[in-house]
Structure formats: C-alpha cells, structure tokens
Amino acid sequence: MHPTESKLWTDGWYRFAKHVHSPNFGARPANCKAQLIVIHSISLPPHQFGSDHIERFFCNQLNHSEHPYFQGLVGVQVSAHFLIKRNSDLIQFVSCKDRAWHAGESTFQGKENCNDFSIGIELEGAEWAGTFEPGQYETLSALCSSLIGEYPVMHFAGHEHISPGRKKDPGSGFYWSYLQRSLGLSDSFFHQTRG
C-alpha cells in the first residue's frame, strides 16, 4: 500500500463514513463474527426526511418535546452500525467489531439475538413510502462490498425477516434484486429475502 493511502477500515470504522459515536453498543460474544447484514429503514418523525433526528436518536440526544411522536421514544436506547441518508450521506455510529443495538428480539436460521453476529444498516426511508433513492442504493452497494471484503458476511436479511410480525422494514419498496446484482452475489446470500 502506498504510504499516503489510508486503509478502508480502522478498528471496525469505515474510512468513507462520517463517524458519530453512539453510546448504545456492547461487545460481541467471544469468537462471534459478523456474518449477517441486516437492512432497516427509519424515519423520524415517521415519513419525514432530511433532519438530524435519527442521528440524535441513536446518540440519546433527541429532544422529545420537538414532536408528539418522540414522546414514545423516551428512554429508548438503540443504534445501528450505519445510516444512509436520503442524500446518500453515510454515517457510522458503532464499530463493526462491536455489537450495535439494532435488531432487538430476533432470530436468523435458528440463532437468536441477531445483534451478536450481524451488522445493522439503516436507510432513511419508510416501508410504506415506496422506493428509496438511487444514491442510497449506490452507497449501500459500495458499503456492503467493502464489508464483505472485511468480514465473513454470508447472508443478507431485512429487519422484517429476522423479526417477522414485529417489524416490517425495509418493506416491499426495497429492491433486494438490485442489491444482489450490484454485488454479484449468489442466491444463497439472499435466500431469506425470497417471498
């Protein structure tokens, strides 16, 4: 590597993301590697985009008096590893070496507590809002490609797939086939997302 080049990853932090450190994380269990990428969607307040409410929510800095919906989030402590904004900006909140609090009660291939072995990526959007922005897919594809090169990722799923009945994101407006084609991966990586 050329002396002036930086590595893509440093201690689980991605070079091309803005780093905003969330306090909501913990250590992964011993010998537990990130094998699953979980795609989410989020908007705060629901179906409203473009503010910094999500970032402040993940950092326990949300002003709960700003909107009636926020009253229901008092005391809630969550995070994701990454957020992709509507304008394609990429923000990282938790090192991929650590356990972000994004999945909640969840199961994948018979294994519970998906936070232990997954990387959570939030897209600013909503499952009922139709589609996500083209630039968000481009940022997501580049990020996932780098994650696959850095970690033993073997599977992709939506929050709706690991927490069925409890969560609906990223929803029918997310194009799994586009992500699969852009990454050039086999169906085995995406079998959970089929029907």
pLDDT digits (tens, 9 = 90+) for 181-193: 999 999 999 988 9
Coil, helix or strand at residue 46? coil
Could you confirm whether 122 is annotated as catalytic? Answer: yes
Compute the distance between CA of residue 145 and CA of residue 21 in angstroms, rounded to an integer: 23
pLDDT of the residue at 106: 98
* Mean residue pLDDT across the chain: 94
Provide the number of structural domains found in the chain.
Answer: 1
Coil, helix or strand at residue 155? strand
Q: Is residue 4 part of a domain?
A: no
Q: Is residue 1 part of a domain?
A: no
pLDDT of the residue at 128: 74
- How large is the angle between the packed helices 176-183 and 134-150, nearest 10 degrees? 50
The token pair at 67 is 């909107």
> What sign results for the dihedral spanned by CA atoms 17, 88, 61, 24?
negative
CATH number (domain holding residue 91): 3.40.80.10
> What sign results for the dihedral spanned by CA atoms 141, 186, 116, 57?
positive
pLDDT digits (tens, 9 = 90+) for 9-67: 999 999 999 999 999 999 999 999 999 999 999 999 999 999 999 999 999 999 999 99
pLDDT digits (tens, 9 = 90+) for 71-88: 999 999 999 999 999 999
Cβ-based neighbours of 130, under 8 Å, separated by 6 or more:
173
Catalytic residue, candidates 55, 122, 124, 160: 122
Which has more confidence, 127 or 66?
66
Q: Is residue 144 part of a domain?
A: yes
Of the candidates 129, 117, 113, 121, the residue with the CA atom closest to the CA atom of residue 43: 129
β-pair partners for 40: 122
Q: Is residue 62 part of a domain?
A: yes
Q: Is residue 95 part of a domain?
A: yes
pLDDT of the residue at 1: 45
Q: Is residue 44 part of a domain?
A: yes
Q: What is the pTM of this model?
A: 0.95
Q: Is residue 2 part of a domain?
A: no
Range of the domain at 36: 9-193
Rounded mean pLDDT, 138-142: 98
Q: Is residue 37 part of a domain?
A: yes
